[in-house]
Structure 1
Amino acid sequence: MSQTPSPDVVIIGAGVVGAACAYYARAAGLLAAVVDRGPVAGGTTGAGEGNLLVSDKEAGPELDLALLSTRLWRELADVLPAETEYEAKGGLVVAPDETTLKALRAFAEGQRARGVEAVEVDRDALRELEPHLAPGPAGGFLYPQDAQVQPAQAAARLLAASGAPAYLGEEVVEVLTSDGAVRGVRTAARTLLAPAVVNAAGTWAGEVAALAGTTLPVLPRRGFVLVTEPLPRVVRHKVYAADYIADVASDSAALQSSAVVEGTPAGPVLIGATRERVGFDRGLSPQALRRLAAQAAALFPVLADVRVMRTYHGFRPYLPDHLPAIGPDPRVPGLFHACGHEGAGIGLAPATGALLAAALTGGEPPLPAHPFRPERFDGAPPEGARPAGRSRSVPRRNP
């Protein structure tokens, strides 16, 4: 086993969140090292669509985090290579009826108070924005701040820009401690000594927390994505029915699906998203795939006869109150967490990295960090967090 030169911080996880933590640690003057049992973006990041959304987040701490990340992603787009495929395409939320449209108005009103751009569009304007959209919706809301990246490339380019050495294919088997405080990590190949360790292990973050002698109730939530054959740009924005907002907020373990449809620079259309808690079951779900295909064709009839070239799925790291855990763990000095973002990790990664860098250096955080404190599950929910089980105010239709 080799002894590697000591960094200031070891980051466990080479997904987009771990890469962002390394990038902003470097910006704060820290030397980071990244370790992952697989490749870059080998977990949740590589199975994502690359969503950078504010449209699906109600007013509160997660939305504030998303707005900060929106600004930071724009800055990153100017310095990262073009392969990141940052595209400020905007999001379009579609309301099938007047009742849902009324609920969307109230939802958007709260968002606007926090700085979100939300523009109501009527039935005719919807068709101007998306000519291939099915007739019938009562209206919707356009969110110009919604954007997109190629997730695996975003993680790889952020990690490369951080300058951090990455030890890939090396599983952390021990979090080293002394007198109750973290002192580094050990893999089968090497020991990495550092005064700080960041748990950015995604759906496996609970296991990493246990290695350090603490707990974090991260659970996997499976989701599928369909990829069509390459097409002309038939979908201009990221388009989804209002059901999706309720699905994101739901605590149900059962299968839920609501179509999120978007074109890509390369041509294929991506169709998500499903959610279900089935542990780490990687089995294919024909029911989930049929639902997605039917819902996408209902939004865009032009897709009904388009070939699906492949499907992929992954696991979102789910925490009970739908907020990530970001910051120091007071139960284990030297341990920091950056995990539990569920399906929003790609969008929230830069703000997470900036918050972590401030915590590591004792600097002023860019926004209040209290709602994301990792130890909050030991007691009462943090102020401002949405308690588990409370749905957002947009009604959910039966599938």
Structure 2
Amino acid sequence: MDRTRVVILGAGIVGSACARELALAGCDVLVIDRGGPAAATTSHGEGNILLSDKGPGPELELAKLSRRLWPEVLTDLGGLAVQAEWQPKGGIVVATTRAGADGLRPFAASQRASGVVAEAMDADALRAAEPHVTREHTAAVHYPQDAQVQPAGAAAALLSGALAAGASLRSGREVLGGVVRGGRLTGVRTSHGTLEGDVFLNAAGPWSGELAARLGAPVDIRPRRGEVLVTTPLPPTVFHKVYDADYVGAVGSGAGDLQTSAVVEATLAGSVLLGSSRRRVGFDARTRPEVLSAIAAKALRLFPSLARVPVMRAYGGFRPYVPDHLPVIGPDPRLAGLWHASGHEGAGIGLSVGTARLVRALLDGREPEIDAGPFRVDRPAVLGEDVPAGSTAGEETT
């Protein structure tokens, strides 16, 4: 793989993680983006690195790999890692209804069987861990492996690590089309001229579907919008990532209409993030007051004490959605030279370093640490074919 010319299309956290891995592997890496690094989806998320919301299956295996890699990667980054604001604070899932408890208990049991630490909590343990959480709960599970980073900072650290390893970055380059010779993608036409390479990695997040179509190999990756509310800084109030048990069902749903669920967590700066929502509205970036109101109402059910806390801002972003809820990772068999690393929806922050490790192994012709088959490009959901109703091949987070 030495000196393979890899052009990474997208400078978000997935593209940045892949750039670092491939530069360390000896590739000649160029990262391009039509905007700036981490300026789109990456900077509009919460920074979650979660095992708690993923049932047994390929995405959980990728999440476990990523969770193991994150501390190693941050250690390797040295002083750059401070930008990531790594917090291995753990998560707590709280059921507030009998139905929620009936779903949470077997879900947690299935995760334990897959190697996830999931500890049932009684009322006293929950009160000790989260003194301000609602007393109206029916079950709770502690996930000590859950963690959080500041997403834009983490992406900046990964990209800086890539540049230090020899990669290059060019911003303000929009990809307009591909250059194909002998059935192989050998270049991309951009707003600033043509760039040639051996491998072109589509890491454009929600825009990956549109970009792939421009290159002549469409994939069914669509935008799915999510919003988050941010409170003013508070004294220590929320100590873990805390969410309602109905969150898992919401993230795994393919419904296009608005879905909200309670997700509450603090940042190192003291603000509390309140989420979450998901809806398929194309690239309509308008903020809807009714969506923010629904998010706030769900969050207050979980933490009633936040009722009088001011909200200082709200933000939203697009996540790369695939109908079968699994990322798309690996070479495109329809067009030699084209690779994909996208479709993570809201889990891209957490799954980025594991995705990069898979791409590196596959590009080098080695057996990856986990089975990459479920993420292959030539599966029905990615190629726009019908996905069976109720299919839940994997989960993703906001």
What's the TM-score, normalizing by structure 1?
0.93
Partner residue of 2:24? 27
Contact 1:250 1:390 in 2 (8 A): no
Contact 2:322 2:381 in 1 (8 A): no
Contact 1:246 1:391 in 2 (8 A): no
Structure 2 matches for 1:154-303, cutoff 5 A? 154-163=154-163, 164-303=167-306
Answering whether residue 60 of structure 2 is matched by residue 59 of structure 1, we say no
Contact 1:107 1:393 in 2 (8 A): no
CA distance in 2 between partners of 1:375 and 1:103 (Å): 33
Q: Which amino acid aligns with 1:52?
A: I
- In the superposition, relative to structure 1, how do residues 379 and 314 fare at CA in structure 2: closer, same or farther (>3 Å)? closer
**Partner SS for 2:380:** helix
1:112-144 deviation line (CA, Å, top 9, x unaligned) = 122111001012211111001111102211001
Q: Could you tell me which runs of 5 or more consecutive residues in structure 2 were left unpaired when the two chains were aligned.
A: none
Count of residue pairs brought into register by the alignment: 386
**Partner SS for 2:121:** strand
**Partner SS for 2:347:** helix
Partner residue of 1:389? 390
**Partner SS for 1:23:** helix
Q: Which amino acid aligns with 2:38?
A: A
Contact 2:56 2:114 in 1 (8 A): yes
Which of 65, 69, 73 pairs up with 2:70?
73
1:215-262 deviation line (CA, Å, top 9, x unaligned) = 101111111000100111200000000010000110110000001100
- In the superposition, relative to structure 1, how do residues 324 and 129 fare at CA in structure 2: closer, same or farther (>3 Å)? same
Q: Which amino acid aligns with 2:301?
A: A
Q: Sequence identity of aligned pairs in percent?
A: 52
Q: Which amino acid aligns with 1:165?
A: S
CA distance in 2 between partners of 1:175 and 1:65 (Å): 30
Answering whether residue 42 of structure 2 is matched by residue 48 of structure 1, we say no
Partner residue of 1:10? 7
351-360 vs 320-329, greater mean Cα deviation = 351-360
Q: Could you tell me which runs of 5 or more consecutive residues in structure 1 were left unpaired when the two chains were aligned.
A: 1-5, 395-399
321-330 vs 208-217, greater mean Cα deviation = 208-217
CA distance in 2 between partners of 1:251 and 1:187 (Å): 34
Alpha-carbon shift at residue 212 of structure 1 (Å): 1.9
CA distance in 1 between partners of 2:382 and 2:91 (Å): 37
Contact 2:100 2:246 in 1 (8 A): no
CA distance in 1 between partners of 2:127 and 2:11 (Å): 41
Alpha-carbon shift at residue 392 of structure 1 (Å): 9.3
Answering whether residue 323 of structure 2 is matched by residue 320 of structure 1, we say yes
Partner residue of 1:366? 369
Contact 1:122 1:138 in 2 (8 A): no
- In the superposition, relative to structure 1, how do residues 336 and 393 fare at CA in structure 2: closer, same or farther (>3 Å)? closer
Which of 306, 311, 325 pairs up with 2:314?
311
Contact 2:94 2:245 in 1 (8 A): yes
74-83 vs 118-127, greater mean Cα deviation = 74-83
Taking only aligned residues, the RMSD between alpha carbons, in angstroms, comes to 2.0
Partner residue of 2:137? 137
What's the TM-score, normalizing by structure 2?
0.93
Partner residue of 1:397? none
1:168-206 deviation line (CA, Å, top 9, x unaligned) = 111111222211101122222233211100000001101
**Partner SS for 1:62:** helix
21-30 vs 331-340, greater mean Cα deviation = 21-30
Q: Which amino acid aligns with 2:343?
A: G
